[in-house]
Structure 1
Amino acid sequence: MLVALALNGLIAVAGHAREVDAIISESEARNIAWSAGLVHVEEITRADDRWEISGRSVDDDEMILDIDIRNGRILD
């Protein structure tokens, strides 16, 4: 019983470590940009802790988005 509890604790810690280290993929960043109104992605670049995405809106206006690489939040 004690071994089972210890293993559960290790599994929980290992699972948490993966969540902390998780990052938003380029594909996920594109999906976030599309949901924010981008209809054509012209460039996507990973810059430290964010994705920088530039493209066009449905009205052909230029859009530039910075997306937090850890949680997918659109930055100001």
Structure 2
Amino acid sequence: MPTLNAPGRLLAALALNALIALAAQGEETYADVTISERQARDIAWSAGLVHVEEIVRLDDRWEIAGRTAEDDEISLDIDIRNGRILN
């Protein structure tokens, strides 16, 4: 098995460092992606709300309280990263 000389090892280390930096940058970008309040309202309406009484962003979720067409109270927690209804 051939061994790398000093310049070859340096080049390999720099390439590996660049790949790690790119991977970390991609994770930060993904972490910044969130759904908007408007998107959260649309998700709540598609789940049966016809009137939103309160909407609050808390850390990693939107909390939405409202009423259905039958005037039942409903509360939804929506994941802020992907729009999935948590409850």
TM-score if structure 1 supplies the norm length? 0.76
Q: Does 1:58 align with 2:69?
A: yes
Q: Which has the higher strand share?
A: 1
Number of aligned residue pairs: give it: 67
Letter in 1 for 2:85: I
Q: Considering only aligned residues, what root-mean-square deviation do their CA atoms show, in Å?
A: 1.9
Once residues 28 and 14 of structure 1 are traced to their aligned partners in structure 2, the CA distance between those partners, rounded to angstroms, is 26
Runs ≥4 residues deviating over 3 A: 13-20
Whose RCO is larger (CA < 8 A, sep 6+)? Answer: 1
Deviations 1:7-66 (A, max 9, x none): xxxxxx867753442001000000000000000000000011000000000000000000
TM-score if structure 2 supplies the norm length? 0.67
Q: Does 1:39 align with 2:50?
A: yes
Once residues 30 and 15 of structure 1 are traced to their aligned partners in structure 2, the CA distance between those partners, rounded to angstroms, is 28
Q: Secondary structure at the match of 1:75?
A: coil
Partner residue of 1:23? 34
Q: Percent identity?
A: 67
Letter in 2 for 1:53: I
Once residues 65 and 33 of structure 1 are traced to their aligned partners in structure 2, the CA distance between those partners, rounded to angstroms, is 7
